[in-house]
Amino acid sequence: MKKIITKKILNEHNISSKEYNMILNIMGREPNILELGIFSVMWSEHCSYKSTKKWLKTLPISNDKVICGPGENAGIIDIGNNDAIIFKMESHNHPSFIEPYQGAATGVGGIMRDVFTMGARPIANLNSLRFGDPKNKKTKNLLRGVVKGIGDYGNCVGIPTVGGECFFHKSYNNNILVNAMSVGLVKKNKIFYATAKGVGNPIIYVGAKTGRDGIHGATMASAEFTDDSEKQRPQVQVGDPFVEKLLLESCLELMNQDVIVAIQDMGAAGLTSSSFEMASKGDCGVDLFLDKVPCREKEMIPYEMMLSETQERMLMIIKPEKRKETYKIFKKWGLEAVEIGKLTNTNKMNLYFNKELVGTLPIKPLADSAPEYDRPSSKPKRLKKKKAIKKIISKEKLKKVLITILSSPNHSSKSWIFNQYDSSVMGDTIFASEMADAAVIRIHNSKKAISITSDCNPIYCKADPKLGAEIAVAESWRNLISTGADPIAITDNLNFGNPEKKEIMYEIKQAIKGIKKACEELNYPVVSGNVSLYNETKGKAILPTPVIGGVGLIKNLNYRKGFKMNEKSFIYLVGKSKGHLDLSVFNQHLNIKGGNPPKVNFTEEINNGNFVKKLIQKTKIIDGCHDISEGGVALALAELCIANKMGMKINFLKNKKQPEKILFCEDQSRYILIVNNKKAFESLARNDGISFQKIGIVGGKYLDFESQFKITVKKLLKTNSKWFKNYLR
């Protein structure tokens, strides 16, 4: 008998000869094209995490607030009074480069479905964006398309986009990153999971009709880009936010009717992943009747139906006696719901089309037993320690560097982006972007709020992946602390190049080790996340970019803190400044290369963070708070002046021989506090053994570094706001 599966077909499905031999052993026969396609998406890097699974298992995933860690659609944490927060971050990198508007839009839609699939109403979205060099001919259009896609989708569904980050670097010229995070609110007794149960229970398809968009999307996301990548536009999903809104409201209504046994979003790998994953978790089998799948295109075949990644679709298992209620609710919302299958006790997926059995596959091996690789790794030569060159800096040069930083793509105001997002819809946004270190969202009809943030410094991660990842976690933790929150847990999105290359695999392993260490030290576990690999083109990989999304609880709205300043308040620096300038924004703008990221002393990190949190939560002596990160004290103070349109006099630089080390160093574990009671603050700080320094006072029209230089607040505002305006006009 002639073989159906050729080497060419295996290559088209991104399946290695070793993996194909595994498939033959599992099947006991040669698969047909449909069955091979199903293996290809379920065993893709995007769906199976086959290169990282071994290392992801080492991450801490629990504390006393975690209800559900990795393994479900999203992570869940307890915030008290029967309330829980469900959250996750996902990537839509490859699709967004090929088709920026739809790629970004459907990334937002997909992550929101992960959240409301579990019974939560989304209450906030964030995003973490990486673009190439602004001078690159593609960057401007990619930026416009991605931002518009994110804004349009979130605005149409009516979920506020409240924060995020945007970073430019030439390594992302041909591999932009679009990481989307969504946060939802649910009652603890109303959480839904994707565990199929009950032989004979009907399987219901609801939402948009299936089309040919997105076929092999998961496979595409598991391979490097080539010159032909832009021809893959048909593999990019097309979104409809209005259908998403209907799906959201109908599913949440249905969840209050004691109807649903299990529910799963049809995301990556579409009908395939949703059906296999639910069945595997419930140790059952499935019969699917593919001729019943609603299709919007003519003559679609089973292969296309199973691999399509058409958006705005759900798969659910319902109680058979509740069919009438189910159809009634979906009809009310104008959605088509169709019974396309049933649960069995076979532990197999049987696929029927026009009464013919067209495929049969064992469920567990596909869902749970994908290949797990311990890929070889080696330390990149670039990580050999190099000392940064020291330069003598004049006062005028210091001033010029600060102005340059404020007007640079990475540190200028992102208001052009944020203004396209509706951050106030739903009426519970307390702080959005540029108002505080993290976004703050009120829990409706309560006195509490959550604080949410995303963070990563790829420059640090390039120089030292482990330490860079530690810093990303610690920075997110400080961001939450600065708003008055108790940090609880994180979600991560690990963006790297090709894991089959030893040096890239080294970066991945080290970054995970860094996340592990930081999360363990801070009692700040990983409850959900995503891995996005093969972010490289023609052998050129992106900077290692392990993005961290953090969530914390503000127990009382009265605790919340942002960038507020009052005239004549005192400005204090909390934490030790050791003068670390290697890899700093300051050095980058002076073209000083080499060196390593600053180290994280977790004892100091915890002590300083807990002290700041205690001041915010238990006293009234703090007006505002800002953590210190990129750009050091100088940039943090400038941002406070800009946010308040108010000046300050900084008086701790007199007789300092190297003021740049004080102003621009990026040592960790530090905060700027705006204090209204000097005596009380200093007494509390001394009692707790906290390193602090009074550095100035609020007031005036200048950011005045006495004995060094000063800049008018007016100029700060103008300087900080002009880059995007000039770039996009």
User: Within 10 A of 676 (CB to CB), how many other CB atoms are there?
Assistant: 17
Distances 545 to 164, 401, 657 between C-alpha atoms, Å: 15, 26, 36
Following DSSP, what letter does each residue of 200-224 receive, concatenated? TPEEEEEESPB-STTTTHHHHTTS-
Q: Is 486 helix (H, G, I), strand (E, B) or coil?
A: strand
At residue 386, the pLDDT reads 59
Give percent of the chain with pLDDT exceeding 70: 96
Q: Which DSSP letter does residue 279 get?
A: H
Give percent of the chain with pLDDT exceeding 90: 89
At residue 381, the pLDDT reads 83
Active site amino acids: 46, 92
Q: Is the pLDDT of residue 391 over 80?
A: no
Q: Is the pLDDT of residue 385 over 80?
A: no
Distances 441 to 290, 450, 595 between C-alpha atoms, Å: 43, 5, 39
CA-to-CA distance for 595 and 463, rounded, in angstroms? 8
Q: Is the pLDDT of residue 632 over 70?
A: yes
CA-to-CA distance for 536 and 172, rounded, in angstroms? 8
Q: How confident is the model at residue 228 (pLDDT cuts 50, 70, 90)?
A: low
Distances 99 to 218, 235, 683 between C-alpha atoms, Å: 16, 10, 57
At residue 393, the pLDDT reads 76
At residue 1, the pLDDT reads 47
At residue 223, the pLDDT reads 55
- Is residue 162 classed exposed, middle or buried when 0-12, 13-18 and 19+ CB atoms within 10 A define those classes? buried
Q: Is 462 helix (H, G, I), strand (E, B) or coil?
A: helix
Q: Is the C-alpha dihedral spanning 293, 297, 302, 303 positive or negative?
A: negative
570-629 pLDDT per residue, tens: 999 999 999 999 999 999 999 998 899 999 999 999 999 999 999 999 999 999 999 999
Q: How confident is the model at residue 637 (pLDDT cuts 50, 70, 90)?
A: very high
At residue 186, the pLDDT reads 98
At residue 235, the pLDDT reads 59
Task: Compute the mean pLDDT over every residue in the chain, rounded to the nearest whole number.
Answer: 94
427-448 pLDDT per residue, tens: 999 999 889 999 999 999 999 9
108-164 pLDDT per residue, tens: 999 999 999 999 999 999 999 999 999 999 999 999 999 999 999 999 999 999 999
Q: Are 468 and 596 in contact (CB under 8 A)?
A: no
Q: Which amino acid is it at 591?
A: N
Segment (H or E) for 28: none
Of 379 and 228, the structure prediction assigns the larger pLDDT to 379
Q: Is the pLDDT of residue 490 over 70?
A: yes
Least confident of 135-144, 280-289, 434-443, 656-665: 656-665
Least confident of 368-372, 414-418, 578-582: 368-372
Strand order in the sheet with 337-344: 260-265, 313-318, 202-207, 337-344, 285-289, 348-353, 356-362
